[in-house]
Structure 1
């Protein structure tokens, strides 16, 4: 990275090393020397320590990987980071209830790049992917609470600023590779069901899989006059199923994890362009050609809220296998949600006690890069569980100490992640599944304590 001074570059590296070796710890606990703690606080306050510049080496590495042949998913999600304080913190905005004076923070919009492998057989589980890292991030401060006199135009302008997170990400990510052997696919939840966003993605030579939030009108592009011929939801529900499969659904707040038997159908259509799509003074654009992939569970007395996904994609989908792959790509989006969860619960981003928004953003930008380390390790344990332990991303000393502490041989990547989880309190029972974020972070912290003790003993 280039922060304008060699010493600042070195300081950034030392802070990142401290985060990697003492995951989830506050700045005072990252360093043994008080001078290093003070220097870290000073560094975070410098105008040069912007999130973009701090992540430049990491993002350059990700972009290089995205230029290789293959299909890459750009997983996007927005998440609120909240600090509840009695005093307002400079550089933070309101979160949650806009009228609450103590809930401050920002919305973090992340684009996480992963490499996609075409499924060889039908699957209901989220397929493992190769985590490349962070391609883009934006810290968004919400606007002040609306006043009683706010006009409709002012309200729309305020709401458009929040929805523009997706379109601004498209501008920063830029044009995809011209190579026909490389495909970038933006995978987003309902927040990205924005016509300007989809048009922008297509203009940049990228693909998209977006869960529909609006029951948009459809049109016949060959008709002489522009007429509505139906709507997204009704058209997809009327289509005959191409096939069915069983999908494993994650547990959510108030809902247990379960298996859902779903049917898959597809409709090819053109989305009706909104009057504003062409921009002021420009002719109205043509409709957006999409495939609507519906993944739906049949209603039953046993299920209160049957699953139904309406997925919009730029790809020409005709067969069940193609539609099934689109559904699996949408499932991969959960990984960026896990990334944000890891930042909060694992690295403790919301526990940071920094008195300025600039410091918080700088710290979290570096935490984000560190968070991809364990995220990649978790995915490797799913994608390549039987690969040698040396490819798990830990150093030779870390592997040696981990093996000695648990008194067991670590032969594979899965052995490593289970061992880290065991250090963090994961019981490794058959019913437990793989270790979660909290167990992995705690395990990594414990491992670093043992590694430091090992090094001291040798000296």
Structure 2
């Protein structure tokens, strides 16, 4: 049986079988110890030097590695027939690594690193299926302090164009029969993005930040117009964890209506541009927890929203947007990519292409256990791994004859990271799992040694 790394990289084309084998070995080793540095994960000086050589050459390989993963993501999407594609931008800060060449300025003008824009495919139920598009770039330092000059520029000359290009790339990657809802945060609240032509079966769902001028609403702008609508229903929504809040359930009210958004006043050729038909959904939390700001989301979508069930569905989908934040969190904190010490930005991008696969795998493990708890854990663990896991956690010398369920195995992995599994603890999170996963690999190594060791002979 081939490992998950071999299967995931089945379509990689590096032009050299030796480099392909090296890549698969690197992904396997780094996935076993995601938060370890390259020297620790590779375990030997020879393997470490070979890995650094791999990352230091072949400028075009980062995209080839990403594309191999994207092709597998497309296969997973095709099985579901419909998908949410969540896109967002993050920054990788390498400021402490002053010797690294080719880095660009970040949001803080004194910091240096890479910008990364990712489109993550997620099932309609919330299982991460993989990266479907990713762009890595270096921001030009000459653009620092010139934000006011970019205000009147066409979208095509701004970083905002990324939102349009990413959706176009997603559309090109996925078969036309797959239904797609692209989800984005407030940075995508751009006229050109909303107005972009889309194929049948493709829609967009974003959070609004601008108080748009709207057509045929008696001079009202977006916020005033939607607030004039009566509350059409309520529901409970899961609010994801952020640096400034704990995850929780929020009881919210919903209002919705159809509107036509007018082009911005500063836009050249405005008189020739059409108004954009959208459904608007206002989500408001009525009684937030003490000391916390109530949830208020104003959502825009090209989907038709005419009744409460449609509004609720859009809200459930948008609530999954935080998965892209968890993905970037795993990339930074779980895989520790910002601690990589490589010679230049190109080498970092090649390493990032590898770690992006590992970050998805860690996130997928978390949700797969919740989605298919009774499935055998052999879908994610090899026999030696689940045997070693059961022997350690269950304090027994003899592993069970049959593999435990996926839910049981994930709880046991989490136990290696201190998860107690009490009644009120819920399911282990991704941070607990990556710590447990690293501990499991050390347990497996010892299990192999003990199982294969030959007891000394009793003969003198």
Same fold (TM over 0.5): yes
2:448 aligns with 455
| 5+ residue gaps, structure 1 | 118-128, 221-226
- Find out whether 1:359 has 2:314 as its counterpart: no
CA–CA distance in structure 2, aligned partners of residues 350 and 110 of structure 1: 17
Whether 1:41 and 2:41 are equivalent positions in the alignment is no
Q: Do residues 139 (structure 1) and 133 (structure 2) align?
A: no
Moved more, 248-257 or 14-23: 248-257
Match of 1:164 in 2: 161
Distance 1:201 1:359, change over 3 A: farther
C-alpha distance 155-217 of structure 1, shift in aligned 2 (>3 A):
closer
Paired position in structure 2 for 1:184: 180
Q: Please, what TM-score do these two structures have when normalized by structure 1?
A: 0.86
- Report deviation, 1:276: 7.7
Distance 1:202 1:357, change over 3 A: same
What whole-Å deviation, never above 9, does each CA across 1:253-284 have from its counterpart, x for those lacking one?
3434444321111110111124687x87x972
1:322 aligns with 2:310: yes
Q: Contact 1:113–1:135 (CA<8 Å) still a contact in 2?
A: yes
Which of these residues, 419, 426, 430, is aligned with residue 423 of structure 2? 430
Aligned partners of 1:3, 1:251: CA distance in 2, in Å? 39
CA distance in 2, matches of 1:154, 1:215: 20
CA distance change for structure 1 residues 195 and 356 in 2, over 3 Å: closer, same or farther? same
Residues 378-387 or 61-70, more deviating: 61-70
Inter-partner Cα distance in structure 1 for 2:431 and 2:179: 34
Deviation of 1:92 (Å) = 1.4
Among 333, 350, 365, which residue is 2:338 paired with? Answer: 350
Q: 1:69 to 1:451 in 2, by over 3 A?
A: closer
Instruction: Quote the Cα distance in structure 2 between the aligned partners of 1:299 and 1:400.
Output: 48
Contact 2:279–2:300 (Cα < 8 Å) also in 1? yes
Aligned to 2:30: 19
Q: Is the 1:289–1:314 Cα contact (8 Å) retained in structure 2?
A: yes
Provide Cα deviations, 1:292-349, integer angstroms capped at 9, x if missing partner. Answer: 0111123789465221111111111111111001000001111111111011111111
1:67 counterpart SS class: helix
Report SS of the residue matched to 2:196: helix
* Corresponding residue to 1:207 among 203, 206, 212: 203
- Structure 1 position 386 matched with structure 2 position 374: yes
Looking at structure 1, the residues matched to 311 and 135 of structure 2 have their Cα atoms a distance apart, in angstroms, of 31
Task: Tell me the TM-score normalized by structure 2.
Answer: 0.86
The answer to whether the 8 A contact 2:29-2:41 is kept is: yes
Q: Aligned partners of 1:17 and 1:86: how far apart in 2?
A: 26
Q: How many residues align?
A: 433
Is 1:50 the counterpart of 2:61? The answer is yes
SS in 2 for 1:244: strand
- SS of the residue 1:19 aligns to: helix
